[in-house]
């Protein structure tokens, strides 16, 4: 229904506007000859404007680029900055560790770690915790533990899930209904069907059939998919997965790295989930690198009882800088003072204003799109009704349209997460910020050629 030739012309005009407004970013990108793909990390080439905006500074939900433009930031580092950029209590904790105390990496525990563990237990209910520097690593180590304990080789994930660069997770349901490597996967160690099984989200029957093979150590899942739009679980789905894993002797790893947006204890607390392992990362240290996994008391006891498993030296779980004093201090400050229970109430209310407004605008413009909200995050998708599984969600992608909307918004001071149409609220995101988004979004929709 969108006239693609006219959309391409509009896009080209937005790119010209972007280039004219960002000469310093363009020059920095042009000079970056010693970076792989010209960027510090290759995914930073996901940019609708032809080159990335270079960061000057960021505070709260505001970002300034090196060309002097200010943005209302709804990307928030794709959740890494859900606490807002450089929140004062986190800055103070970092300053204290760096300037007053010293000791950034010592291989020694700090007393803050037990405080953080206890707070994570209060929020998520898991009994004991271990730290990493990324959610990816937390997932990898969790996978090793569940394999060791069950003696089973495979991990079951949902089609088009994302859990970081975890080899086992890069599998999708192919056109024939069987598992196959996710398109574009880079350098898998073995055929992914040797390590993994896959089911569509919200399809208990298929999940149960896969589990019935008896070789699945654990289901690794987000309780709502958040990396291919926000695909919400049907009523009863999460309970059905839990029961199916128990029936088939598989464990359940819930990855709350993004679904933490649902509340202070993520979906696990909100929906009373009961996983064996819970993985989290990104937001919990206010932007300082961290990941963590929590184990049920029962699973922890079973792992610790296995004297053949080397958990202390070279056995395959651990990173030298994991649990370092800086990231633990930042996690304590974030959880104690920033991403508090009270803060979540405000963030979720603001996200509701965001989602309601976008829904109204979509309806006014008679577009066949839909928006889902998960606590403090919301995301619209170019399909209605909203897709119910990863394959449907992947099929509703529209790169041209997405790039145009992202660039139109960026040119007028609004940042969405570059990978999809996700908007996240931090404690300082205001209703006025959301209204500003709606104003620009409405203008963007009015330009769509049909």
Ligand X SMILES: Cc1ncc(COP(=O)(O)O)c(C=O)c1O
- At its nearest, how many Å lie between ligand X and the CB of residue 255? 5
Based on the shown chain and the rule CB under 6 A, indicate whether residue 141 belongs to the binding site for ligand X: no
Which residue is at the shortest CB distance from ligand X?
164
Q: Closest CB to ligand X among 267 and 405?
A: 267
Going by C-alpha positions, the residue among 132, 135, 198, 133 that lies closest to residue 163 is 135
Q: Which residues pair with 292 in a beta bridge?
A: 131, 280
Total site size for ligand X, rule CB under 6 A: 15
Based on the shown chain and the rule CB under 6 A, indicate whether residue 255 belongs to the binding site for ligand X: yes
Other residues' Cβ atoms within 10 Å of the Cβ of residue 248: 18
Residues 137, 141: Cα–Cα separation, whole Å: 6
269-308 residues in contact with ligand X (CB under 6 A) are 281-282
202-241 residues in contact with ligand X (CB under 6 A) are 222, 227
- At its nearest, how many Å lie between ligand X and the CB of residue 162? 5
Based on the shown chain and the rule CB under 6 A, indicate whether residue 164 belongs to the binding site for ligand X: yes
Q: Closest CB to ligand X among 11 and 44?
A: 44
Residues 6+ apart with CB under 8 A from 244: 204, 207, 208, 211
Pick the piece of the chain touching ligand X (CB under 6 A) from 29-37, 130-138, 211-219, 267-275. Answer: 130-138
Pick the piece of the chain touching ligand X (CB under 6 A) from 133-141, 209-217, 398-406, 432-440. Answer: 133-141
Q: The sheet that has 422-424: what strands, in order across it?
A: 370-374, 377-381, 422-424
- At its nearest, how many Å lie between ligand X and the CB of residue 254? 10
144-163 residues in contact with ligand X (CB under 6 A) are 162-163
Q: Which residues pair with 154 in a beta bridge?
A: 216
Residues 6+ apart with CB under 8 A from 94: 288, 326, 329, 330, 333
Label residue 283 exposed, middle or buried (CB < 10 Å: 0-12, 13-18, 19+). buried
In order, the DSSP letters of 435-449 are HHHHHHHHHHHHH--
Residues 71, 69: Cα–Cα separation, whole Å: 7
Contact with ligand X (CB under 6 A) among 110, 134, 268, 396: 134
**Which whole-number Å values give the CA distances from 47 to 51, 60, 103, 148, 170, in the listed order?**
6, 23, 38, 41, 23
Based on the shown chain and the rule CB under 6 A, indicate whether residue 369 belongs to the binding site for ligand X: no
48-107 residues in contact with ligand X (CB under 6 A) are 78
- At its nearest, how many Å lie between ligand X and the CB of residue 148? 21
Based on the shown chain and the rule CB under 6 A, indicate whether residue 258 belongs to the binding site for ligand X: yes
Based on the shown chain and the rule CB under 6 A, indicate whether residue 136 belongs to the binding site for ligand X: yes
Residues of this chain that bind ligand X (CB under 6 A): 78, 134-136, 139, 162-164, 222, 227, 255, 257-258, 281-282
């Amino acid at each position: 229904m969108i006239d693609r030739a006219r959309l391409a012309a509009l896009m080209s005009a937005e790119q010209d506007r972007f280039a004219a407004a960002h000469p310093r970013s363009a020059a920095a990108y042009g000079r970056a000859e010693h970076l792989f793909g010209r960027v510090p990390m290759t995914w930073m080439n996901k940019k609708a404007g032809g080159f990335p905006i270079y960061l000057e500074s960021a505070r709260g939900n505001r970002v300034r680029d090196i060309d002097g433009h200010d943005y209302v930031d709804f990307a928030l580092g794709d959740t890494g900055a859900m606490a807002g950029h450089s929140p004062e209590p986190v800055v103070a904790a970092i300053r204290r560790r760096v300037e007053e105390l010293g000791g950034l990496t010592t291989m020694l525990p700090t007393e803050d770690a037990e405080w953080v563990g206890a707070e994570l237990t209060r929020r998520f209910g898991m009994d004991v915790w271990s730290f990493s520097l990324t959610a990816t690593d937390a997932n990898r180590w969790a996978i090793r533990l569940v394999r060791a304990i069950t003696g089973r080789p495979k991990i079951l994930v949902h089609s088009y899930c994302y859990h970081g660069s975890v080899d086992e997770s890069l599998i999708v349901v192919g056109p024939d209904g069987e598992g196959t490597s996710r398109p574009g996967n880079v350098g898998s160690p073995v055929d992914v069907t040797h390590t993994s099984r896959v089911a569509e989200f919200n399809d208990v029957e298929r999940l149960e059939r896969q589990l019935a093979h008896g070789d699945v150590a654990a289901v690794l899942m987000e309780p709502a998919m958040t990396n291919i739009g926000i695909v919400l679980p049907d009523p009863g789905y999460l309970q059905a997965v839990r029961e199916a894993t128990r029936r088939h002797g598989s464990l359940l790893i819930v990855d709350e790295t993004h679904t933490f947006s649902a509340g202070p204890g993520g979906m696990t607390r909100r929906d009373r989930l009961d996983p064996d392992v819970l993985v989290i990362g990104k937001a919990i240290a206010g932007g300082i690198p961290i990941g963590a996994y929590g184990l049920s008391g029962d699973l922890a006891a079973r792992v610790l009882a296995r004297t053949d498993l080397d958990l202390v030296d070279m056995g395959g779980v651990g990173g030298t800088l994991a649990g370092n004093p800086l990231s633990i201090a930042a996690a304590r400050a974030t959880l104690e003072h920033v991403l508090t229970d009270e803060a979540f109430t405000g963030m979720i209310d603001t996200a509701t204003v965001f989602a309601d407004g976008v829904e109204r605008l979509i309806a006014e413009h008679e577009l066949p799109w839909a928006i889902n909200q998960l606590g403090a995050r919301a995301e619209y998708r170019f399909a209605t009704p909203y897709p119910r599984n990863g394959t449907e969600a992947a099929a509703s992608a529209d790169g041209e349209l997405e790039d145009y909307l992202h660039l139109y918004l960026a040119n007028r001071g609004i940042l969405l997460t570059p990978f999809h149409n996700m908007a996240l609220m931090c404690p300082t995101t205001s209703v006025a910020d959301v209204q500003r988004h709606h104003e620009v979004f409405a203008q963007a929709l009015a330009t769509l050629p049909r």
